[in-house]
Structure 1
Amino acid sequence: MLHPGRLLRLTLLPRSLSAMAAPPAGASGQCFAAEGPGPDLVCFTLSASSSGRPEPRCFVPAPGRCYSLCVPAAPSVPAARLHRRLQQRLRQEPFGRCQVLGLLCYGAQAALEKGFLIQDPQGGPETERALEELLRGLGELPPPLGVYEAGERGELWQCLWALRGAGGRELLHRARVVAAEEPPLHPAVPGLRHAAVFHSLEAARSVVEQCTSFIPEATAVLDLVDKCPKHSKKGEFPVIVIEGLDATGKTTVTQSIKNSLNALLLRSPPACVSQWRKTFDVEPTLIRRAFYALGNYIVASEIAKASTESPVVVDRRYRCEFRYPTYLHIGKITIIKYWHSTAAYAIATEISGKVQNLPPTHHEVYQWPEDLLKPDLVLLLTVSPEERIRRLQGRGLEKTEEETELEANSLFRQKVEESYKRMENPGCQEVDASPSREEVLRTVLYLIKKHCGSL
């Protein structure tokens, strides 16, 4: 429970100051979920009543203090860049002594906001001054500053202040903070299809379009997309997707096919956009995911052509063509890492906490985009965590933030794998990639023959 003498300061970035000027009518309005170091969310809400439910659990005991900064989580590039700017700034001094956690602001009448809960174990004035300076530097109309203070009977109140010029403040509203139960769905679930997992070309394209003024390569990506058919259609031969976490053997499997069948491999993402991966990998997740989503549509146009003209296997580093031996009786075929990986990593990143927080089975977020070329078979390669670590040692490859998180965080890895397994239309068929290369290859070829031999 909250210590009676403790102070919690919360900063919000609402859609407008007028929307926040009046106190909420009850605890069913604006809600908050602090993403703590453990798997559970700490949820609380605002109430106009001075009595009722207890205060929420907190992270830092007195004399420590907590602060937070939030921005809208809508699919807006300016909001995503502001969130990234705050994230980077909070990694610098004088915030080095603080622990920064995720914070979500949500409600029935309000769009999701994302931010950071800054835990200052010392509770000194330096952190508060630095945060206020940071907020005032964001623009002409700084985000409001919510100050959470203990009342006479130990209850917790929110005083929302608008920051004015010359260090002044104006009180917007005052409301009590009370504990709340975790919502049935993780607060980020409703917005996944709009800001994380793109289910149409236009949704991803609209994000990249917002980047052309500060990412010159964005224009080149859009030009490539515009040259692709609106709805790429597969040819008469099957399309096979090989998915899996890093170091599960995706490249080994395709190389095994190459060696045993005299095959060549086609790079994915395609070479025409992979040259810009480093540029987009350092951008906020919204921009990065939109880039890779458009890459899927570009690849789809290549798959459509390959499945009618020439046999091709696709991996991330090699390019070539091949024909399967006649005993498979499937002719031309395409193998590629595709949409499932883009979606699985996005879902696992956005949904904090335990695996149970993921969207439920059969949720719409797991459905294949209607305007993206669909594969005939998806194989999900899996190995034990210990085997993955062994294979990763000494690879020395550059990693995105999500890949680094995957390597360090077992819970995140579990969420990625579970997201893969919940994909539908088409779903993933698991393949144990732990045995020898020869055994895994036999399994893969058997599954291809079983599911695609008659296509």
Structure 2
Amino acid sequence: MASAGRPLTGSMLGRLRAQWQPRRETCAGVMLTDRCFALELPDCTLAHFKLDHDGPGRPPGGGPPPHLASLLGSPGRSYSLCVPVAPEAGCGARVRAARLHQRLLRQLRGGAFAQCQLLRLLDYRPGGQPGSAHHGFLLRDPRDCLETRRALLRLLGACEESPRPHLGEFESSPQGQLWQRRWEPEDGEWREAGSALVRPIPEPELHPVLPDLTSSAVFPSREAAQAVLEACTSFIPEAQVVLDLVNQCPKQVQKGKFPVIVIEGLDATGKTTVTQSVSDSLKAVLLKSPPPSVAHWREIFDDEPTIIRRAFYSLGNYIVASEIAKKSTQSPVIVDRYWHSTATYALATEISGGLQYLPPAHHHLYQWPKDLLKPDLVLLLTVSPEERVQRIAGRGLEKTREEAELEANKVFRQKVELSYQHMENPGCHLVDASACREKVLQTVLSLIRNN
């Protein structure tokens, strides 16, 4: 094997091919020849490629496209890490994989990897099969330092989870080809387990993670979210308390005769002020999601992976729904955030790349859950990004993690906003909240009367 920092010569490549070819058949099952990869590039586009195990022939049209060659080839060296989950795996396995992925993310951001570039990588099986996507990373070492590989192998060697992350190492050939060498644990050590040629492939019609989101982020039912938290009770005691509260709520609740209005919006759009003013004007009950009975645990669940965090917020919606059903028999109800915010943040977080990769309009992920009490009207408060920044600075409050992400990541904010606009059954009525407080209140009250 060529050492890190030494380019492959023609004779070295020939020897490597001779070594790799006999192994191809024995490791074909492990290497999953039908799997593809989606790499998130710095410009928020996705580069799709696959690994060709059928021989070292030169790719059609020469080498890989420049954007892949610059990130996977020399100078420098790149490594792929993906956390596998069996398609038929239950919630427990998906939760364990998500927690391992989060732990690796934190470890790869410092220490021996501080000088490396970290990009999102998705390992998937084409065809839109649920449960086939594996989340991971591309670790790009611009220095091509041997210590980076050693640190990576030590890190993965310390993983006690099974199955362990898939590890690949990319290398350029003198002919301009890209190869990935696979590493596998064997007798307590990581060893080379074969190779494959990197070939670019066309972009699929839909983002490959979409089939998995109903079981990992945008839960379509109370039972789906409950199953996730049930897998968390051994390491998050509060999860059992949330489940107990949910189990006390009727599974089917009906809205009373009074209207139910949900007010959504990003932080600093005036949502808190508007919800309070509207509830005062209508003599309505004001509720929040998540409700006070579980809201004090937000910090605990916000520190967990998306699958756990969104299950918590989803179940908070069902607890609020039970309160809505009771209160709407006596007076109007105003709700500060509900299902739409749970779904939009999940979509923006889990779908890599830019706006173009969100589900198309009318996709089932934008539909309201059939078992969740539906409001009469949903209003979405909006202000310009510049206005939001000024308001946040004026408040002088500590930013939440989501707010920091909205401010620092323009694409993330745009994905949240566009997801809100795509929500259906019910959809969101947009309200320009940049005007003075009195005018915004008048606009909101007019919308409520007209709808």
Common fold: TM-score over 0.5: yes
Aligned length: 414
Query: Is 1:58 matched up with 2:69?
Result: yes
Summarize the alignment of residues 83-162 of structure 1 with structure 2, pairs less than 5 Å apart: 83-108=101-126, 111-139=132-160, 142-151=164-173, 153-162=175-184
Q: Could you tell me which residue of structure 1 aligns to residue 80 of structure 2?
A: 68
Distance 1:208 1:92, change over 3 A: same
Q: Supply the AA of the counterpart residue of 2:401.
A: E
In structure 2, the residue corresponding to 1:72 is in which secondary structure? coil
Mapped to 1, the partners of 2:425 and 2:288 lie a distance apart of 25
Q: Could you tell me which residue of structure 2 aligns to residue 219 of structure 1?
A: 240
- 1:288 pairs with one of 309, 314, 324: 309
Query: Contact between 2:84 and 2:163, CA under 8 Å: does it hold in 1?
Result: no
Q: Could you tell me which residue of structure 1 aligns to residue 21 of structure 2?
A: none
Mapped to 1, the partners of 2:433 and 2:408 lie a distance apart of 21
Q: Could you tell me which residue of structure 2 aligns to residue 31 of structure 1?
A: 36
Mapped to 2, the partners of 1:181 and 1:85 lie a distance apart of 32
Q: CA deviation at 1:263?
A: 6.1
Q: CA deviation at 1:213?
A: 0.3
In structure 2, the residue corresponding to 1:21 is in which secondary structure? helix
* TM value normalised by structure 2: 0.86
Distance 1:166 1:211, change over 3 A: closer
Q: Could you tell me which residue of structure 1 aligns to residue 383 of structure 2?
A: 383
Query: Is 1:402 matched up with 2:402?
Result: yes
RMSD: 2.5
Distance 1:59 1:237, change over 3 A: farther
Q: Could you tell me which residue of structure 2 aligns to residue 328 of structure 1?
A: none
- 2:252 pairs with one of 231, 250, 260: 231
Mapped to 2, the partners of 1:21 and 1:255 lie a distance apart of 57
Instruction: Between 101-110 and 380-389, report the one with greater CA deviation.
Output: 101-110
Q: Could you tell me which residue of structure 2 aligns to residue 415 of structure 1?
A: 415
Identity score, percent: 57
- 2:209 pairs with one of 188, 201, 205: 188
Mapped to 2, the partners of 1:6 and 1:394 lie a distance apart of 57
Q: CA deviation at 1:384?
A: 0.6
Q: Could you tell me which residue of structure 1 aligns to residue 270 of structure 2?
A: 249
Q: CA deviation at 1:152?
A: 5.8
Instruction: Between 402-411 and 427-436, report the one with greater CA deviation.
Output: 402-411
Mapped to 1, the partners of 2:375 and 2:283 lie a distance apart of 23
More helix by share: 2
- 2:47 pairs with one of 7, 24, 42: 42
Query: Contact between 1:33 and 1:43, CA under 8 Å: does it hold in 2?
Result: yes
In structure 1, the residue corresponding to 2:426 is in which secondary structure? coil
Query: Contact between 1:348 and 1:412, CA under 8 Å: does it hold in 2?
Result: yes
Q: Could you tell me which residue of structure 1 aligns to residue 353 of structure 2?
A: 353
Mapped to 2, the partners of 1:302 and 1:262 lie a distance apart of 17
Distance 1:158 1:258, change over 3 A: closer
Show CA shifts across 1:180-211 (max 9, x none): 22211112222222211011001100000011
Mapped to 1, the partners of 2:183 and 2:159 lie a distance apart of 16
Contiguous gaps of at least 5 residues in structure 1: 8-16, 312-331
Q: Supply the AA of the counterpart residue of 1:154.
A: G
Q: Could you tell me which residue of structure 1 aligns to residue 187 of structure 2?
A: 165
- 1:20 pairs with one of 26, 29, 42: 29
Q: CA deviation at 1:298?
A: 0.3
Q: CA deviation at 1:23?
A: 6.9
In structure 2, the residue corresponding to 1:272 is in which secondary structure? helix
Mapped to 1, the partners of 2:70 and 2:101 lie a distance apart of 22
Q: CA deviation at 1:151?
A: 4.1
Q: CA deviation at 1:118?
A: 1.0
Query: Is 1:426 matched up with 2:426?
Result: yes
In structure 2, the residue corresponding to 1:447 is in which secondary structure? helix
Show CA shifts across 1:143-181 (max 9, x none): 44323333463322233232223535252x432111122
- 2:223 pairs with one of 194, 202, 213: 202
In structure 2, the residue corresponding to 1:393 is in which secondary structure? helix
Contiguous gaps of at least 5 residues in structure 2: 1-5, 10-25
Instruction: Between 410-419 and 188-197, report the one with greater CA deviation.
Output: 188-197
